[in-house]
């Protein structure tokens, strides 16, 4: 007898399905893994929007939080200055941006929207840099404006804010990280 509060099954994101069915066997074959659990996987995606003007104008921080929440589907955390910087008139503890850490289903959904919808909207886009690997399974790159994401309405955006996007994987080498991200469809620039 089914209960009245039974939840509908949560749909699995396409990239998570592709990882399980296509990317894992390809990586096992290419790198010689004998165990599926040894194959590199995505751990998390961190999106950071720095807006130093937020220390002086609260509207900038509010808009950054609103935009980041629309893009990711998760409420961002306000980041604060660790040190005072007199040249920028920022004191220790002033809000200077916001960030979101995505894991599991939201991570795959964001990655899919980024690769299929947002990156192609960048003017004169030739691919993301192939040199931004940190050597420990991480890859990071920056976006100059948040308006490349279709979730935002251009009429609501008053401040052009950039963002840093960091992919954290369980890969041990930059080559493994690159092959993993290429499997997801990340467009790297040609040498």
Contact status, residue 146 vs residue 161, Cβ threshold 8 Å: yes
Residue 2 lies in a domain: no
Domain count, the chain: 1
**Domain membership of residue 147 as a residue range:** 39-184
**59 C-beta neighbours (distance < 10 Å), count:** 11
Residue 34 lies in a domain: no
> pLDDT class for 17, splitting at 50, 70, 90?
confident
Average pLDDT, the chain: 79
Q: Is the pLDDT of residue 125 over 60?
A: yes
Mean pLDDT of 98-125: 82
Contact status, residue 139 vs residue 188, Cβ threshold 8 Å: no
> Distance between CA atoms of 40 and 183, rounded to whole angstroms?
11
Give the model confidence (pLDDT) of 27-55 as tens digits.
888 888 888 888 888 889 898 887 766 55
* Main-chain dihedrals φ then ψ at residue 24, nearest 5 degrees: -60, -50
> Distance between CA atoms of 57 and 68, rounded to whole angstroms?
18
Mean pLDDT of 163-174: 86
What residues are paired with 166 via a beta bridge?
46, 140
What residues are paired with 172 via a beta bridge?
none
* Main-chain dihedrals φ then ψ at residue 141, nearest 5 degrees: -155, 165
Contacting residues for 47 by C-beta, under 8 A, at least 6 apart: 68, 71, 72, 99, 100, 102, 110, 163, 164, 165, 166
More confident residue, 137 or 107: 107
> pLDDT class for 158, splitting at 50, 70, 90?
low
CATH number of residue 157's parent domain: 3.30.1440.10
More confident residue, 103 or 137: 103
Mean pLDDT of 144-161: 71
> pLDDT class for 3, splitting at 50, 70, 90?
low
> Distance between CA atoms of 188 and 85, rounded to whole angstroms?
36
Residue 16 lies in a domain: no
Give the model confidence (pLDDT) of 51-94 as tens digits.
766 556 677 778 778 888 888 888 888 877 766 776 666 667 67
What residues are paired with 55 via a beta bridge?
none
Confidence (pLDDT) at 126: 77
Confidence (pLDDT) at 1: 52
Confidence (pLDDT) at 56: 64
Residue 94 lies in a domain: yes
Strands (E) located in 42-169: 42-50, 77-80, 95-102, 138-143, 163-169
Residue 179 lies in a domain: yes
Q: Is the whole-model pTM more than 0.75?
A: yes
């Amino acid at each position: 007898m089914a209960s009245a509060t039974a939840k509908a099954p949560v749909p699995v994101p396409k990239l998570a399905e592709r990882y399980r069915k296509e990317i894992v066997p390809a990586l096992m074959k290419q790198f010689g893994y004998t165990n599926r659990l040894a194959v590199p996987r995505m751990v998390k995606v961190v999106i950071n929007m720095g807006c130093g003007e937020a220390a002086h104008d609260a509207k900038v921080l509010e808009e950054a939080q609103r935009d980041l929440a629309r893009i990711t589907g998760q409420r961002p955390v306000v980041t604060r200055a660790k040190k005072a910087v007199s040249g920028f008139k920022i004191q220790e503890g002033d809000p200077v941006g916001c960030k979101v850490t995505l894991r599991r289903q939201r991570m795959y959904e964001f990655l899919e929207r980024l690769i299929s919808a947002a990156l192609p909207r960048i003017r004169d886009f030739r691919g993301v840099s192939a040199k931004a690997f940190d050597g420990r399974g991480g890859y990071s790159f920056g976006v100059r404006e948040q308006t490349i994401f279709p979730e935002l309405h251009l009429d609501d955006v008053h401040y052009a804010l950039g963002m840093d996007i960091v992919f954290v994987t369980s890969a041990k080498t930059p080559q493994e990280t690159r092959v993993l991200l290429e499997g997801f469809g990340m467009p790297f620039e040609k040498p």
